[in-house]
Amino acid sequence: MRDLNKKGKKGFTLIELIVVITILAILSTIAFVNFNSFSGKARNSKRTEDLSSVFRSIWVKMADGEKPKTYVTSNAAYALPSANVSIAWFSWTTDADYVWWIINYSSLWIKAADFKDPKTIDYGMAASNKWNIYELAATLEDESWNKALVIWNYIPRSGTTYQITGTTAASTWSDNTRLKVSFGDAGDLWRFKVGDLLSNGNPGTSSWTVLKIGNSWTGGYVVINLDDTTVWWSGSTAIQLKSWAEVKGLVKSIDTTNSPVEKDSITALPYSIN
Protein backbone atom coordinates (compact mmCIF):
# COMPACT_ATOMS: atom_id res chain seq x y z
CA MET A 1 0.00 0.00 0.00
CA ARG A 2 2.83 2.37 0.90
CA ASP A 3 4.61 1.54 -2.33
CA LEU A 4 1.55 2.31 -4.45
CA ASN A 5 1.18 5.79 -2.87
CA LYS A 6 4.81 6.58 -3.59
CA LYS A 7 4.40 5.63 -7.23
CA GLY A 8 1.33 7.91 -7.56
CA LYS A 9 3.24 11.16 -6.65
CA LYS A 10 4.41 13.43 -9.49
CA GLY A 11 6.63 16.58 -9.50
CA PHE A 12 6.86 19.60 -11.86
CA THR A 13 8.80 19.14 -15.03
CA LEU A 14 11.62 21.52 -15.91
CA ILE A 15 9.52 23.13 -18.65
CA GLU A 16 6.65 23.78 -16.25
CA LEU A 17 9.01 25.44 -13.77
CA ILE A 18 10.45 27.67 -16.48
CA VAL A 19 6.95 28.73 -17.58
CA VAL A 20 5.91 29.57 -13.99
CA ILE A 21 9.11 31.57 -13.35
CA THR A 22 8.64 33.46 -16.62
CA ILE A 23 5.05 34.37 -15.74
CA LEU A 24 6.09 35.54 -12.26
CA ALA A 25 8.86 37.67 -13.78
CA ILE A 26 6.42 39.32 -16.19
CA LEU A 27 3.93 40.03 -13.41
CA SER A 28 6.68 41.50 -11.22
CA THR A 29 7.81 43.78 -14.06
CA ILE A 30 4.26 45.03 -14.64
CA ALA A 31 3.78 45.67 -10.93
CA PHE A 32 7.11 47.54 -10.71
CA VAL A 33 6.27 49.77 -13.70
CA ASN A 34 2.82 50.55 -12.31
CA PHE A 35 4.29 51.36 -8.89
CA ASN A 36 6.87 53.70 -10.40
CA SER A 37 4.16 55.41 -12.47
CA PHE A 38 1.98 55.86 -9.39
CA SER A 39 4.91 57.22 -7.38
CA GLY A 40 5.74 59.70 -10.16
CA LYS A 41 2.15 60.97 -10.23
CA ALA A 42 2.18 61.35 -6.46
CA ARG A 43 5.41 63.37 -6.60
CA ASN A 44 3.97 65.54 -9.38
CA SER A 45 0.88 66.20 -7.26
CA LYS A 46 3.10 67.40 -4.41
CA ARG A 47 5.06 69.66 -6.76
CA THR A 48 1.87 71.21 -8.10
CA GLU A 49 0.37 71.70 -4.64
CA ASP A 50 3.63 73.14 -3.26
CA LEU A 51 3.88 75.77 -5.99
CA SER A 52 0.19 76.61 -5.73
CA SER A 53 0.45 77.07 -1.95
CA VAL A 54 3.52 79.31 -2.21
CA PHE A 55 1.92 81.29 -5.04
CA ARG A 56 -1.19 81.94 -2.94
CA SER A 57 0.88 82.89 0.11
CA ILE A 58 2.80 85.50 -1.88
CA TRP A 59 -0.40 86.80 -3.46
CA VAL A 60 -1.96 87.35 -0.03
CA LYS A 61 1.12 89.17 1.26
CA MET A 62 1.23 91.36 -1.85
CA ALA A 63 -2.37 92.37 -1.13
CA ASP A 64 -1.00 93.82 2.12
CA GLY A 65 1.52 95.91 0.19
CA GLU A 66 4.53 93.58 0.15
CA LYS A 67 6.74 93.35 -2.96
CA PRO A 68 7.41 89.97 -4.63
CA LYS A 69 11.20 90.24 -4.61
CA THR A 70 11.05 89.88 -0.80
CA TYR A 71 10.24 86.21 -1.27
CA VAL A 72 13.17 85.26 -3.51
CA THR A 73 16.70 84.31 -2.49
CA SER A 74 18.99 85.66 -5.22
CA ASN A 75 21.98 84.00 -6.86
CA ALA A 76 23.65 85.71 -9.82
CA ALA A 77 24.74 82.37 -11.28
CA TYR A 78 21.09 81.57 -12.00
CA ALA A 79 20.19 84.89 -13.65
CA LEU A 80 19.02 85.21 -17.21
CA PRO A 81 21.55 87.23 -19.25
CA SER A 82 20.38 90.76 -19.97
CA ALA A 83 20.74 90.09 -23.71
CA ASN A 84 18.02 87.43 -23.43
CA VAL A 85 15.62 89.43 -21.31
CA SER A 86 13.40 92.46 -21.66
CA ILE A 87 10.16 93.68 -20.20
CA ALA A 88 9.12 96.62 -22.34
CA TRP A 89 12.80 97.30 -23.02
CA PHE A 90 14.03 97.15 -19.44
CA SER A 91 16.90 94.70 -18.93
CA TRP A 92 17.68 92.94 -15.67
CA THR A 93 21.14 94.45 -15.44
CA THR A 94 19.60 97.90 -15.09
CA ASP A 95 16.68 96.81 -12.95
CA ALA A 96 17.87 96.34 -9.38
CA ASP A 97 14.41 95.11 -8.42
CA TYR A 98 14.76 91.83 -10.31
CA VAL A 99 15.78 88.78 -8.24
CA TRP A 100 16.09 85.14 -9.16
CA TRP A 101 16.97 81.66 -7.88
CA ILE A 102 14.89 79.97 -5.16
CA ILE A 103 12.05 80.68 -2.72
CA ASN A 104 12.94 82.65 0.41
CA TYR A 105 11.14 80.35 2.83
CA SER A 106 11.91 82.32 5.98
CA SER A 107 10.25 85.47 4.64
CA LEU A 108 7.09 83.45 4.00
CA TRP A 109 7.25 81.84 7.45
CA ILE A 110 7.10 78.33 6.02
CA LYS A 111 9.32 75.32 6.66
CA ALA A 112 11.72 74.84 3.75
CA ALA A 113 11.79 71.05 4.10
CA ASP A 114 8.02 70.91 3.59
CA PHE A 115 8.08 72.91 0.37
CA LYS A 116 10.84 71.33 -1.68
CA ASP A 117 10.76 68.98 -4.62
CA PRO A 118 10.17 65.38 -3.41
CA LYS A 119 13.72 64.68 -4.55
CA THR A 120 14.92 67.38 -2.08
CA ILE A 121 15.63 70.00 -4.75
CA ASP A 122 14.68 73.67 -4.39
CA TYR A 123 11.98 74.98 -6.69
CA GLY A 124 12.93 77.84 -9.01
CA MET A 125 11.61 81.36 -8.50
CA ALA A 126 12.10 84.81 -9.99
CA ALA A 127 10.36 88.14 -9.46
CA SER A 128 10.47 91.80 -10.35
CA ASN A 129 9.00 94.69 -8.42
CA LYS A 130 8.26 96.29 -11.77
CA TRP A 131 4.52 95.60 -12.05
CA ASN A 132 4.82 93.10 -9.14
CA ILE A 133 5.38 90.02 -11.27
CA TYR A 134 6.69 86.67 -10.08
CA GLU A 135 7.09 83.11 -11.31
CA LEU A 136 7.53 79.70 -9.66
CA ALA A 137 8.87 76.70 -11.56
CA ALA A 138 9.26 72.95 -11.02
CA THR A 139 10.15 69.91 -13.11
CA LEU A 140 7.45 67.28 -13.54
CA GLU A 141 8.12 63.60 -14.14
CA ASP A 142 6.73 61.96 -17.26
CA GLU A 143 6.99 58.46 -18.69
CA SER A 144 8.53 59.79 -21.90
CA TRP A 145 10.00 63.23 -21.15
CA ASN A 146 10.12 65.42 -18.08
CA LYS A 147 8.42 68.79 -18.52
CA ALA A 148 8.27 72.18 -16.86
CA LEU A 149 5.54 73.32 -14.49
CA VAL A 150 5.17 77.10 -14.27
CA ILE A 151 2.83 79.07 -12.01
CA TRP A 152 2.99 82.84 -12.40
CA ASN A 153 1.10 86.12 -12.53
CA TYR A 154 3.22 87.28 -15.48
CA ILE A 155 1.93 87.20 -19.05
CA PRO A 156 4.55 88.12 -21.68
CA ARG A 157 3.49 90.64 -24.31
CA SER A 158 4.58 90.87 -27.93
CA GLY A 159 5.31 94.20 -29.58
CA THR A 160 3.19 93.69 -32.67
CA THR A 161 0.20 92.47 -30.65
CA TYR A 162 0.47 95.26 -28.13
CA GLN A 163 0.21 98.06 -30.64
CA ILE A 164 -2.23 100.97 -30.87
CA THR A 165 -2.71 103.46 -33.65
CA GLY A 166 -3.16 106.90 -32.13
CA THR A 167 -6.10 108.72 -33.69
CA THR A 168 -5.36 112.05 -32.08
CA ALA A 169 -2.15 113.68 -30.91
CA ALA A 170 -3.35 116.40 -28.57
CA SER A 171 -2.73 118.25 -25.33
CA THR A 172 1.00 118.71 -25.77
CA TRP A 173 2.34 120.38 -22.62
CA SER A 174 3.91 123.82 -22.97
CA ASP A 175 7.38 122.44 -22.28
CA ASN A 176 6.96 119.85 -25.07
CA THR A 177 7.85 117.01 -22.71
CA ARG A 178 4.50 115.25 -22.54
CA LEU A 179 1.91 114.22 -25.07
CA LYS A 180 -1.59 112.81 -24.75
CA VAL A 181 -2.29 110.21 -27.41
CA SER A 182 -5.93 109.23 -27.84
CA PHE A 183 -7.35 106.17 -29.52
CA GLY A 184 -10.88 105.07 -30.21
CA ASP A 185 -11.22 101.85 -28.22
CA ALA A 186 -10.88 102.12 -24.43
CA GLY A 187 -10.72 98.32 -24.39
CA ASP A 188 -7.13 98.63 -25.59
CA LEU A 189 -6.05 100.13 -22.28
CA TRP A 190 -5.00 96.71 -20.95
CA ARG A 191 -2.23 96.59 -23.55
CA PHE A 192 0.02 99.04 -21.72
CA LYS A 193 1.18 99.75 -18.17
CA VAL A 194 2.52 102.85 -16.49
CA GLY A 195 6.30 102.69 -16.86
CA ASP A 196 6.29 100.89 -20.22
CA LEU A 197 8.78 102.09 -22.80
CA LEU A 198 7.09 102.65 -26.16
CA SER A 199 8.23 103.48 -29.66
CA ASN A 200 6.53 104.76 -32.79
CA GLY A 201 6.31 101.42 -34.61
CA ASN A 202 10.02 101.27 -35.36
CA PRO A 203 11.82 99.95 -32.26
CA GLY A 204 14.91 101.89 -31.33
CA THR A 205 14.13 105.18 -33.07
CA SER A 206 12.10 106.73 -30.26
CA SER A 207 11.65 106.11 -26.57
CA TRP A 208 8.55 107.22 -24.70
CA THR A 209 7.64 106.31 -21.15
CA VAL A 210 3.98 105.85 -20.27
CA LEU A 211 3.14 108.29 -17.48
CA LYS A 212 -0.61 107.78 -17.27
CA ILE A 213 -3.33 105.59 -18.71
CA GLY A 214 -6.99 106.54 -18.74
CA ASN A 215 -10.22 106.71 -20.69
CA SER A 216 -12.77 109.32 -21.62
CA TRP A 217 -16.12 109.36 -23.37
CA THR A 218 -14.30 109.34 -26.72
CA GLY A 219 -12.14 106.29 -25.95
CA GLY A 220 -8.81 105.54 -24.30
CA TYR A 221 -5.63 107.56 -24.02
CA VAL A 222 -2.06 107.34 -22.80
CA VAL A 223 0.09 110.21 -21.61
CA ILE A 224 3.70 109.76 -22.66
CA ASN A 225 6.85 111.76 -22.11
CA LEU A 226 8.90 112.72 -25.16
CA ASP A 227 12.58 111.88 -25.31
CA ASP A 228 13.30 115.22 -26.98
CA THR A 229 11.48 118.32 -28.23
CA THR A 230 12.02 117.58 -31.92
CA VAL A 231 10.04 114.32 -32.09
CA TRP A 232 7.55 114.24 -34.92
CA TRP A 233 4.13 112.80 -34.23
CA SER A 234 1.44 111.92 -36.72
CA GLY A 235 -2.15 111.42 -35.69
CA SER A 236 -2.08 107.97 -37.26
CA THR A 237 1.28 106.82 -35.91
CA ALA A 238 1.24 103.40 -34.26
CA ILE A 239 2.75 103.10 -30.80
CA GLN A 240 3.92 99.79 -29.38
CA LEU A 241 6.24 98.18 -26.86
CA LYS A 242 9.71 99.30 -27.76
CA SER A 243 11.21 95.85 -27.21
CA TRP A 244 8.70 94.23 -29.61
CA ALA A 245 8.43 91.18 -27.39
CA GLU A 246 8.83 90.54 -23.69
CA VAL A 247 10.80 87.61 -22.32
CA LYS A 248 8.76 84.39 -22.26
CA GLY A 249 9.63 83.54 -18.67
CA LEU A 250 11.46 84.83 -15.59
CA VAL A 251 13.25 81.71 -14.28
CA LYS A 252 16.42 80.59 -16.05
CA SER A 253 16.40 77.04 -17.44
CA ILE A 254 19.23 74.52 -17.07
CA ASP A 255 19.75 74.17 -20.82
CA THR A 256 22.86 75.64 -22.42
CA THR A 257 21.08 78.41 -24.35
CA ASN A 258 20.39 80.68 -21.35
CA SER A 259 16.69 80.52 -22.17
CA PRO A 260 13.83 80.99 -19.69
CA VAL A 261 11.72 78.13 -18.38
CA GLU A 262 8.51 77.76 -20.37
CA LYS A 263 5.37 75.92 -19.31
CA ASP A 264 5.20 72.30 -20.57
CA SER A 265 8.62 72.59 -22.21
CA ILE A 266 10.65 69.34 -22.29
CA THR A 267 13.96 71.14 -22.84
CA ALA A 268 13.74 74.43 -20.88
CA LEU A 269 13.51 72.96 -17.36
CA PRO A 270 14.30 74.67 -14.02
CA TYR A 271 16.28 71.68 -12.70
CA SER A 272 17.01 68.02 -13.40
CA ILE A 273 15.30 65.20 -11.49
CA ASN A 274 16.90 62.23 -13.28
Distance, in Å, from the CA atom of 170 to the CA atom of 223, rounded to the nearest integer, reads: 10
Residues 144 and 34 in one domain: yes
170 within a domain of the structure (yes/no) = yes
Q: Which pLDDT value is given to residue 136?
A: 97
Greater confidence, 164 or 151? 151
Model confidence pLDDT, tens digit, residues 215-238: 776 667 777 776 544 444 445 566
4 within a domain of the structure (yes/no) = no
189 within a domain of the structure (yes/no) = yes
Reply yes or no on whether the pLDDT at 197 is more than 50.
yes
- pLDDT-derived band at 40, boundaries 50, 70, 90: confident
Model confidence pLDDT, tens digit, residues 99-139: 889 999 999 998 898 999 999 999 999 998 878 899 999 99
Question: DSSP 3-state assignment of 212?
Answer: strand
Mean pLDDT value across residues 175-187: 67
Residues 129 and 167 in one domain: no
- pLDDT-derived band at 11, boundaries 50, 70, 90: low
Model confidence pLDDT, tens digit, residues 60-83: 999 999 999 999 998 888 888 776
- pLDDT-derived band at 98, boundaries 50, 70, 90: confident
Greater confidence, 248 or 239? 248
191 within a domain of the structure (yes/no) = yes
Q: Which pLDDT value is given to residue 244?
A: 60
- pLDDT-derived band at 7, boundaries 50, 70, 90: low
Domain that includes residue 230, residue range? 163-241
Reply yes or no on whether the pLDDT at 39 is more than 50.
yes
Residues 117 and 179 in one domain: no
Q: Which pLDDT value is given to residue 23?
A: 78
Please give the mean pLDDT across all residues of the chain: 77
Greater confidence, 6 or 129? 129
273 within a domain of the structure (yes/no) = yes
Please give the share of the chain, as a percent, with pLDDT higher than 90.
30
2 within a domain of the structure (yes/no) = no
Residues 42 and 103 in one domain: yes
Radius of gyration of the chain (CA): 29
What backbone torsions phi and psi does residue 120 show, to the nearest 5 degrees? 60, 40
Residue in 228, 218, 216, 89 with CA at minimum distance from that of residue 162: 89
- pLDDT-derived band at 161, boundaries 50, 70, 90: low
Strand partners, 101: 74, 125
Residues 101 and 152 in one domain: yes
Does the pTM surpass 0.75? The reply is: no
Residues 117 and 170 in one domain: no
Residues 114 and 185 in one domain: no
Q: Which pLDDT value is given to residue 228?
A: 45
Residues 114 and 32 in one domain: yes
- pLDDT-derived band at 172, boundaries 50, 70, 90: low
Please say whether the beta carbons of 105 and 112 come within 8 A. Answer: yes
Residue in 192, 194, 199, 197 with CA at minimum distance from that of residue 237: 199
3 within a domain of the structure (yes/no) = no
Greater confidence, 199 or 210? 210
Residues 95 and 228 in one domain: no
Please say whether the beta carbons of 89 and 240 come within 8 A. Answer: no
Residues 128 and 264 in one domain: yes
Reply yes or no on whether the pLDDT at 4 is more than 60.
no
Count of structural domains, the chain: 2
Distance, in Å, from the CA atom of 179 to the CA atom of 175, rounded to the nearest integer, reads: 10
Residues 176 and 254 in one domain: no
Residues 69 and 203 in one domain: no
Q: Considering only 14-23, 104-113, 150-159, 163-172, which range has the smallest mean pLDDT?
A: 163-172
Compute CA distances 43 → 50, 111, 118, 138, whole Å.
Answer: 10, 18, 6, 11
Reply yes or no on whether the pLDDT at 206 is more than 90.
no
